[in-house]
Structure 1
Amino acid sequence: MEEITFLKRKAVEIRMDLLTMIYEARTGHTGGSLSSTDILTVLYYKVMNIDPSKPKWADRDRYVQSKGHSVEALWSILADKGFFPKEELKTFSQFGSRLIGHPNNKVPGIEMNTGALGHGLPISVGMALAAKLDGKSYKVYTLMGDGEQAEGSIWEGAMAAAQYKLDNLIAIIDRNRLQITGSTEDVMGLEPLGDKWRSFGWEVVEVDGNDIEQLVEVFSTTPRVAGKPTMIVANTVKGKGISFSENQVAWHHKVPTEEQFNLAIDELSKQLEVLV
């Protein structure tokens, strides 16, 4: 339980940091960063074999953020883990900063520049295949958006991963059901999403992507099946953690006002108070 409490507290702290970054920079993708925070927290503080002092260590696990626009949670976590000074978060999206609005591989801990949707999974397939060919035991994790599933390159990567039996590849879909223009089911219907991935040869598991305990349990049992890549459909809430942003499409790319920022920080602070 101690470990679970630590992860829950860390997720709240990361939400506070990313919201502060967005508020001070006056730009950012708030909703998707908040929905994916619990996933990234479990990956970086519990699951992945990484060493911030050796970001290019050959045997490290790899993480590729395919939904690159929701980078704020990732920047906050990399700074907290020590990949770069936390003070640098104050430069987010400022002129000359390397902490731009998408993952930038000039920053330690970032494997690939991403942002154009649909590229993260094919890149991760290549990394996982390289591990197999080189006899390496590292795993490759990639986080996609659900709106991103409309990209054809996703499904090309899905076929290749099954073809090469990449059981060292774990993909996650941040299934918050909202994208920039509205509901995913109105823009480009995805269901039955899990069955589609199963038909492409993947082992699929669904989880509450904002439930720390469930995430820890699922990640601890991957790969699920030898010779098959794993897909985790993580059902999340866009804008998770802040009452007035939850399930609101307007918060896909929205900066809080001073009043909203203070209300949000107050809500998150109260969440911390009960996690003792």
Structure 2
Amino acid sequence: MTEASGDQCEAARRARRARRRIVGYARHRTVHLGSSLSVVDALDAVLSRTEARGDGAGRSPCVLSKGHAVWALYALMAERGHRRYDDATGLPGHPTDDYPGVDVATGALGHGLSIAAGLAEGFRLSGTERPVYAILGDGELNEGSVWEAIMFAAHRHLRRLVVVVDVNGLQQEGTTDEVLNMSPLAPRWGAFGWDVTSIDGHDRHALDSALAWAENTDRPAVVLARTVKGNGVGFMENSLDWHTGRLDDRGLELALADLGA
């Protein structure tokens, strides 16, 4: 087994453990389950890249714009040894910037990309070659402020700005096509001056390859990661009923059985 494939196998195991933590959180309180489960793989891939920099430039920021999916962040940070995330009862429902691993407090949708673009502009002006990541939801693209940030980033040539969109096709009110149809997404982003790639958002090899590509393009880049809302838990997958939820003992047992040991 090569080092890369070994890393990807460990990433798959870590993502499975993180999903088990997420459903465990939901035994104690209401959690945004569907979107947290869908974004785990992409978020873990981004976090692994922010940690991997050893060039003295400092850790690359990651803005979780779809802040309601913070339970994925908590679970992945717990897997990285942060004991503060073991107990769900006292954790805030959106990222708060005095918590480990949270670079920017987010909550209201549509703000994260503007913040990330501002960070990237600051790095550009200071001559710092450091990627900035932002993770958005596809439903979040309904917000006009997102497209203002997209235009700004292209105009300012923010070539180290990397966006990952969790394209799970659902939002609280229905499917993304029903609520506000923006398909096809790739040509839209491209028309705004971005480099675009579309991948399977649960394929770690594809994620790692896409992020490496996105960090080195000549324009801001977006990775459209196609995912399944509620991924890994059969009765939650592609279900609006599990946008948010809380699990009883039986529900937790079923979810953990789907996620395996």
More divergent stretch after superposition (209-218 vs 110-119) = 209-218
Deviation sequence 1:190-224 (CA, Å, 0-9, x none): 11211111111000000100111211221122235
Give the TM-score normalised by structure 2. 0.93
238, 241, 250: which one aligns with 1:250: 241
SS state of the match for residue 69, structure 2?
coil
Asked if residue 12 in structure 1 is aligned to residue 9 in structure 2, the reply is: no
Assess if the C-alpha contact under 8 Å between 1:242 and 1:264 holds in 2: yes
Compared with structure 1, are the counterparts of its residues 50 and 216 closer, same or farther at alpha carbon in structure 2 (3 Å cutoff)? Answer: closer
3, 28, 41: which one aligns with 2:44: 41
Assess if the C-alpha contact under 8 Å between 1:64 and 1:142 holds in 2: yes
- Paired letter, 2:64: Q
Distance 1:50 1:119 in 2: 26
SS state of the match for residue 60, structure 1?
coil
SS state of the match for residue 172, structure 1?
strand
Corresponding residue for 1:168? 160
125, 142, 147: which one aligns with 1:155: 147
Corresponding residue for 1:72? 71
- Paired letter, 1:245: M
Runs of 4+ in 1 over 3 A off after TM superposition: none
Assess if the C-alpha contact under 8 Å between 1:18 and 1:73 holds in 2: yes
- Paired letter, 2:86: L
SS state of the match for residue 119, structure 2?
helix
Residue 256 of structure 1 deviates from its aligned partner by 2.3
Distance 1:8 1:29 in 2: 22
Deviation sequence 1:172-199 (CA, Å, 0-9, x none): 1100000001111001111121111111
Corresponding residue for 1:241? 232
Distance 1:78 1:207 in 2: 25
165, 182, 186: which one aligns with 2:178: 186
The 5-angstrom pairing of residues 1-276 of structure 1 reads: 1-24=5-28, 26-45=29-48, 47-49=49-51, 59-82=58-81, 84-86=82-84, 88-90=85-87, 92=88, 94=89, 97=90, 99-226=91-218, 228-269=219-260, 272=261
More divergent stretch after superposition (130-139 vs 235-244) = 130-139
Distance 1:192 1:266 in 2: 36
Distance 1:196 1:13 in 2: 35
SS state of the match for residue 23, structure 1?
coil
SS state of the match for residue 220, structure 1?
helix
Distance 1:77 1:58 in 2: 24
Residue 80 of structure 1 deviates from its aligned partner by 2.4
More divergent stretch after superposition (161-170 vs 217-226) = 217-226
Residue 10 of structure 1 deviates from its aligned partner by 0.7
Distance 1:190 1:39 in 2: 22
Distance 1:251 1:120 in 2: 24
RMSD: 1.6
Residue 50 of structure 1 deviates from its aligned partner by 6.0
SS state of the match for residue 207, structure 1?
strand
Q: Where do 5+ consecutive residues of structure 2 fail to align?
A: none
Distance 1:114 1:203 in 2: 25
Distance 1:210 1:48 in 2: 19
SS state of the match for residue 265, structure 1?
helix
Corresponding residue for 1:54? none
Assess if the C-alpha contact under 8 Å between 1:59 and 1:137 holds in 2: no
SS state of the match for residue 232, structure 2?
coil
Residue 149 of structure 1 deviates from its aligned partner by 0.5
Assess if the C-alpha contact under 8 Å between 1:50 and 1:61 holds in 2: no
Distance 2:105 2:151 in 1: 23
